[in-house]
C-alpha cells in the first residue's frame, strides 16, 4: 500500500471512522438487478431511488474524471445494556431503531468527511476534487463498501463486517485522485436464515431481496400515508417498533457475537429515544417534537408520522390511560393521517 493510501486510512480512523477502504469509481455490477428490483415495485413510494438512475449506477456521472471512492463506516451501536440480541419488550413503551437514538448521522459524518477531505487535499499537489455523500446522493453505497473491503452482503441485504457486525453507517468521498484500491470483502451467511425467519412482516421475500413495502423501517419512516391494516398487528406485536426496526440485525449471529458499543458521544441515546412511554410520545405537541428531536434522524418522519406510529402501538396497549393519550394525539394533530389511525386504535 502506497504512503498516501496509508495516510488516508490513518486520518480516517483518527476522525472517528471505524472502517475505511478504497475502491475504483466504476459502473455498478448490479445495474440489471437494481432495475428489476425497481420494476417489481419493491421501492414503494421512495421515488427518489429511481431518479437519476444513470447517475446512481455510475459514480463517474457524479464527478468529472472520478477515479476512486474512499468509503468509511462508523459504528453506531451504543445500547450494550440491551444486549445485541432481541431485547425484552414493555408493551407500554416504544422502540426506536438504534441508528435513530442519537444525533443525526448525516450531519455528524458529513462534517467529519469534509474535514477528512481537507486533510487529504493538503497532502496532494494535484488539482484534487471530490464529492461527499452520506446516505443522500445517488450512489449504491453498499456495493461501493463491499468492493472497498468493508463488508459483504447478508441475506437481510445489510452490509456485514465479519469482525464488527452490521451496526455502522456508510459514507463516501468520490474523488478524481488515482488511488490504490483494496480487495473486496469476502464472507457469507452460510445456511443461516435467522433474519428471514424473524422478520415479522415477511419483508425479506428471498435471500438478499427486500420488499420495502412490507419493511417496518419503510412503513414507520418513509411511508407518508396509512400503514396497511394487515401489517399493523405484526408491527405492534414485535415490540412497538415506532421508528425503524432492528429485528433482522438483532438476530444476526455476527451482531450477537461481535457488536461492541461505541463511545462516540454523537450516537449515545437520548432520553426521549430510550424506551419512552407511548403516552409521553402521544402527548408531544409539534413544537415539543421539534425541540426533543432537534438534530435527530427522527425528524424525517415528522410529527404526524410519529403520532401515527404511536397510535398504532397504543391500539394494543393494556394501559388504562391509553385512551386519554390517543385523544391527546388527535388534539395535537387533527389531520386525517393521525385521526384515522387514532380512531382505529380507540
With a cut of 90, say whether residue 108 has pLDDT above it: yes
With a cut of 60, say whether residue 84 has pLDDT above it: no
Residue-range domain boundaries for the chain: 3-79+102-175, 277-346
Cell of 106: 448525516
pLDDT for 2? 81
Lowest mean pLDDT, pick from 169-173, 300-304, 334-338: 334-338
pLDDT tens figures, 308-337: 999 888 887 656 565 555 656 555 555 555
Residues 94 and 77: their CA atoms lie apart, in Å, by 18
Q: Which of 39, 65, 127, 135 is catalytic?
A: 135
- The answer to whether 57 and 138 are in contact (CB under 8 A) is no
Banded model confidence at residue 87, pLDDT cuts 50, 70, 90: low
pLDDT for 91? 82
- Top pLDDT among 49 and 327 is at 49
pLDDT for 170? 98
With a cut of 60, say whether residue 61 has pLDDT above it: yes
With a cut of 60, say whether residue 163 has pLDDT above it: yes
The residue to which cell 432492528 is assigned:
246
pLDDT for 136? 87
Q: Which residues, 6+ apart, have CB-to-CB distance to 162 below 8 Å?
A: 151, 152, 185, 187, 254, 258
pLDDT for 321? 60
- The answer to whether 173 and 28 are in contact (CB under 8 A) is no
Cell of 209: 431481496
Q: What is the pTM of this model?
A: 0.91
pLDDT for 345? 53
pLDDT tens figures, 120-150: 999 987 789 999 999 988 999 999 999 999 9
pLDDT for 246? 93
pLDDT tens figures, 177-198: 999 999 999 999 999 999 999 9
Q: Give the residue-averaged pLDDT of 277-292.
A: 93
Q: What is the mean pLDDT of the chain?
A: 90
Residues 251 and 158: their CA atoms lie apart, in Å, by 13
- Residues found in the chain: 346
Q: Give the residue-averaged pLDDT of 25-42.
A: 97
Question: Is residue 58 annotated as part of the catalytic site, yes or no?
Answer: no
Residue 174 forms beta bridges with which residues? 69, 131
Residue 316: which of 284, 346, 271, 280 has the closest Cα?
A: 346
pLDDT for 127? 84
User: For 235, what's the count of Cα atoms within 13 Å in the CB-facing half-sphere?
Assistant: 30
pLDDT tens figures, 228-241: 999 998 988 888 89
pLDDT for 79? 75
Amino acid at each position: 500500500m502506497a504512503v498516501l493510501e496509508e495516510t488516508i486510512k490513518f486520518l480516517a480512523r483518527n476522525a472517528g471512522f471505524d472502517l475505511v477502504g478504497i475502491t475504483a469509481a466504476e459502473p455498478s455490477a448490479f445495474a440489471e438487478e437494481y432495475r428489476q428490483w425497481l420494476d417489481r415495485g419493491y421501492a414503494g413510494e421512495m421515488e427518489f431511488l429511481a431518479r437519476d438512475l444513470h447517475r446512481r449506477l455510475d459514480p463517474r456521472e457524479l464527478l468529472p474524471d472520478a477515479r476512486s471512492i474512499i468509503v468509511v463506516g462508523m459504528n453506531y451501536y451504543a445500547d450494550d445494556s440491551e444486549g445485541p440480541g432481541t431485547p425484552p419488550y414493555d408493551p407500554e413503551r416504544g422502540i426506536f431503531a438504534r441508528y435513530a437514538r442519537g444525533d443525526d448521522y448525516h450531519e455528524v459524518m458529513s462534517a467529519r468527511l469534509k474535514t477528512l477531505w481537507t486533510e487529504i487535499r493538503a497532502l496532494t499537489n494535484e488539482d484534487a476534487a471530490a464529492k461527499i455523500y452520506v446516505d443522500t446522493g445517488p450512489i449504491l453505497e453498499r456495493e461501493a463498501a463491499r468492493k472497498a473491503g468493508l463488508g459483504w452482503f447478508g441475506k437481510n441485504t445489510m452490509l456485514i463486517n465479519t469482525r464488527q457486525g452490521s451496526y455502522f453507517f456508510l459514507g463516501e468521498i468520490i474523488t478524481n485522485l488515482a488511488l490504490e484500491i483494496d480487495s473486496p470483502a469476502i464472507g457469507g451467511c452460510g445456511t443461516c436464515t435467522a433474519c428471514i425467519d424473524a422478520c415479522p412482516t415477511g419483508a425479506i421475500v428471498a435471500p438478499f431481496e427486500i420488499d420495502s413495502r412490507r419493511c417496518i423501517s419503510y412503513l414507520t419512516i418513509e411511508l407518508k400515508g396509512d400503514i396497511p391494516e394487515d401489517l399493523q398487528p405484526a408491527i405492534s406485536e414485535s415490540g412497538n417498533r415506532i421508528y425503524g426496526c432492528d429485528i433482522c440485525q438483532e438476530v444476526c449471529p455476527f451482531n450477537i457475537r461481535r457488536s461492541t458499543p461505541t463511545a462516540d458521544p454523537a450516537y449515545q441515546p437520548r432520553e426521549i429515544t430510550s424506551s419512552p412511554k407511548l403516552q409521553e410520545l402521544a402527548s408531544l405537541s409539534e413544537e415539543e417534537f421539534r425541540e426533543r428531536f432537534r438534530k435527530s434522524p427522527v425528524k424525517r418522519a415528522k410529527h404526524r408520522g410519529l403520532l401515527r406510529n404511536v397510535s398504532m402501538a397504543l391500539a394494543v396497549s393494556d394501559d388504562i390511560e391509553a385512551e386519554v393519550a390517543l385523544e391527546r394525539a388527535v388534539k395535537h394533530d387533527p389531520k386525517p393521517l393521525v385521526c384515522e389511525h387514532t380512531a382505529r386504535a380507540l
